[in-house]
Structure 1
Amino acid sequence: MAEVIASRESPLHRPVPGRLVPVTGEGRPQEGLAHLDALAARRGGQEGRELFWIRLPLMAACGRVDEAVEQARAHAEGTTSYAAPHIAELLAGAERTEDAVGVLEQQAPANSHALAGYLIDLGRIGEAVAVLQESGPAGSRAGPWHDEPPFRGGARTLPGTSGCGPAASRPPVKR
């Protein structure tokens, strides 16, 4: 199988994230890791950011969850809100949902929806609701960088417009 993966005809030849999913989904994560190792070797030992984050679930699928979590935390982005859901997913996949919640709680404002999902998995519905209510709606502009929610306070309509739709953002056409 390694020869097929290495061949140019293989659907796994190019390092596209979706192309490694079948390898994992079919219970062959070792082959996915071998493919990533081959790609890194061709790049002089360098592995790009996207391939690094693909490698971790493959490692976890091989029973190397703790090693994957350790590598994720040691990564330059390992303590950021970007890494938290990746690490939480590794932990939850190993039936360590409490640990996943702990990781996400450290970055709660940025990952509130993922945190709420794991809290629900643990049967802690009230806490999940509270987390979501504290974070506001997805895409909300409320927070430390905005003084007021969208469409309140400073919204003005231009003469000749209804205040809705694309025309509201530009002056009326003179005829």
Structure 2
Amino acid sequence: MMEANPTTLTELEQAREDFIRQWGAMGSAWGINRTMAMIHAALMTNPTPMNTDQIMEMLEISRGNANANLRELVGWGLLRPTAVKGERKDYYEAEKDVWKMFCVITRERKRREIEPAMAVLDDCAARTEKLKGAEAKEFNQMMKDLGEFVSVASSVMDRISRSERSKVVPTALKLFG
């Protein structure tokens, strides 16, 4: 076995820390909390499962913060608890297949964001359907148009998250390339 070059290991650790920090920042932009995204990144890039204590130490977070975010990530389907032989602590590992991760995140965001938005748009359109006046008609049409757009986006998200990567990615790249 080759011995690790200390310089390379330090560079790897620094690159990993940079990725974890950036993934946390991106998570905030996508509507999940920074710590949740950073835990996901730490487990996604770790070659072996980690326990809560290891995660707390790596990210310098409290046990309560770690536990709450681990539960949330397990609920999303991005992490799974796993047993480590000879250990009594709970260990966690992340889904490492990028396409599966994307599909899980897409489905969860649709459930948490798109479906409630569609319900509000449909409700607003229904409540203003029979109102008189130009402003009410304009509002109603806007709700219908937005509802139609969100419905199409939702259908696209459904198709992408259910499709095989080999079929969807080339098609998507042609459409957006």
Q: Classify the TM-score, shorter chain.
A: under 0.3
- Which TM-score applies when normalising by structure 2? 0.28
Higher relative contact order (CA 8 A, sep 6+): 2
Higher strand share: 2
- Which TM-score applies when normalising by structure 1? 0.28
